[in-house]
Amino acid sequence: MPTTPIMTVTDLHKTYGKAGSKQYEALKGIDFDVQPGEFVGIMGASGSGKTTLLNMLATLDQPTSGEVTIHQQPITHLKGNQLADFRANEIGFIFQDFNLLETMTAYENIALPLMLQNVASKKIKPAVEQVATQLGINEFLSNYPNELSGGQKQRVAAARALINEPAILFGDEPTGALDSKSARELLDMFTKINQEQAVSILLVTHDPFSASYCQRILFIKDGRIGQELHRDQLSRTDFYQQILDTLGTFEQ
Partner 1 sequence: MFKLALSGFKHRWRDYLVLFSGLVMSSAIFYMFEALATNQTFLKQNSMISMISFVFQFGSVLLTIITLVYIGYANSFLLSMRKRDYGLFMLVGARKGKIGQLIWVETLFVGILATIVGIAFGAILTIGVSHLLVQALGLTLKQFSAWYTPAALVTLVLYVGLFLIAGLFNLVALTKTPALKLLHSNDQPNRPRLHPVRQSIEVIIGLASISIGYWSMAHLIDLKMAGIGIALVTIVLGTYLLFNAVFVWLVVLLKRFKWAQRGLNSFTLSQLSFRIRNYTKILSIVAMLFALALGAITTGLGFHQQVPMMAAGGSAYDLSLVNPTAAQKRTVASLNPTRQATYHYKTTSKVVYYNAAEFDQQPFYTANTSGTTHLSFKYAKNNAKQMKKSFYSYQLGDLQTRLNVRKAAVYLPAAAYQKLKQPEAQLLVFATKNFQKHFATFKQLTKAQNKRGANLQIAATGGRYYAYQEFNGMYSGLEFMGFFLGIAFLAMLASCLMFKILSGAAADRQRYRMLDKMGTTQRQLKQALRKEIAVLFVLPGIVGIIHVLFGLQMFKVIMITSPYTGIWLPFTIFAILYLGYYWLTISIYQRIVLQ
Ligand X SMILES: Nc1ncnc2c1ncn2[C@@H]1O[C@H](COP(=O)(O)OP(=O)(O)OP(=O)(O)O)[C@@H](O)[C@H]1O
The residues that touch partner 1, with contacts defined as CB under 8 A, are: 60, 80-81, 83-89, 93, 98-99, 101-104, 108, 111-113, 115-116, 118, 121, 124, 144-147, 160
Binds ligand X by CB under 6 A, chosen from 19, 20, 46, 120 = 46
Residue 25, class by beta-carbon neighbours within 10 Å (0-12 exposed, 13-18 middle, 19+ buried)? middle
Please choose which of Mg ion, ligand X, partner 1, none residue 16 contacts, taking the beta carbon within 5 to 8 angstroms, the exact cut-off set by kind.
ligand X
DSSP string, 135-161: HT-GGGTT--GGGS-HHHHHHHHHHHH
Binds ligand X by CB under 6 A, chosen from 5, 34, 48, 113 = 48
* Residue 134 binding ligand X, by CB under 6 A: no
Longest alpha-carbon distance in the chain: 56
How many CB atoms lie under 10 A from the CB of residue 11? 13
Which of 143-169 are b and which e, b meaning 16 or more Cβ less than 10 Å from the residue's Cβ? Answer: bbbeebebbbbbbbbbbbbbbbebbbb
* Residue 21 binding ligand X, by CB under 6 A: no
C-beta of 51 vs 99, nearer to Mg ion? 51
* Residue 250 binding ligand X, by CB under 6 A: no
* Residue 224 binding ligand X, by CB under 6 A: no
Shortest distance, position 41 Cβ to ligand X, whole Å = 13
Residue type, 16: Y
Please choose which of ligand X, Mg ion, partner 1, none residue 209 contacts, taking the beta carbon within 5 to 8 angstroms, the exact cut-off set by kind.
none
> For residue 62, what are the contacts with CB-CB under 8 A and spacing of at least 6?
56, 76, 77
C-beta of 61 vs 222, nearer to partner 1? 61
* Residue 144 binding ligand X, by CB under 6 A: no
* Residue 145 binding ligand X, by CB under 6 A: no
Query: Which residues of the chain form contacts with ligand X (CB under 6 A)?
Result: 16, 24, 26, 44, 46-52, 206
